[in-house]
Amino acid sequence: MRTKKPIKTSTARFVLDGSVALAWFFQDEADPYADSVVARLPAAGAIVPQIWPLEVANAVAMGERRKRSTEAQAAHWLGFLASLPITVDDETNDRAWSDVLSLARAHHLSVYDATYLEVALRRGLPIATLDDKLKAAASAAGIPQFAP
């Protein structure tokens, strides 16, 4: 488990995909882009769809079952995560059967991944993701990749 000290700089908000956040926790998923995102997060602030906390919790539980982490490591990291300026979007579920489903169909994404794209489109924000399909869909929809 890694928890780097964030660097305070000024920038715009962005949509944070679970793939980036999980790269901060699991050593085998470490990624320089993810590290640069967390360094900018305190000043920028992130928005996540309502599925995000469940997605993160599920990955942590699966990581523990597969012996990739311990409960103590997860508790420490989740405390760190809770201290970051991450806002859960309160409109995601209201759009699940309309905008989110349409985006999933149009871009051949899972509905879960389409929630990130929907939030980014609706709020006019860039997206931070390590997921290649989501990156491609965002690009096709005119949503830029967050540049830390």
Q: Which two tokens stand for residue 58?
A: 């599920």
DSSP assignment of 18-84 equals: HHHHHHHH-GGG--HHHHHHHHHHHHH-EEE-TTHHHHHHHHHHHHHHTTSS-HHHHHHHHHHHHHS
Name the average pLDDT for the chain. Answer: 92
Percent of the chain with pLDDT over 70: 93
**Structure confidence at residue 60 (pLDDT):** 97
Query: Mean of the pLDDT values across residues 43-62?
Result: 96
pTM of the complete model:
0.89
Query: Which pLDDT score is estimated for 6?
Result: 37
Task: Answer whether residue 51 shows pLDDT above 60.
Answer: yes
pLDDT for res 10: 36
pLDDT tens by residue, 77-132: 999 999 999 999 999 999 999 999 999 999 999 999 999 999 999 999 999 999 99
Per-residue pLDDT, 3 = 41
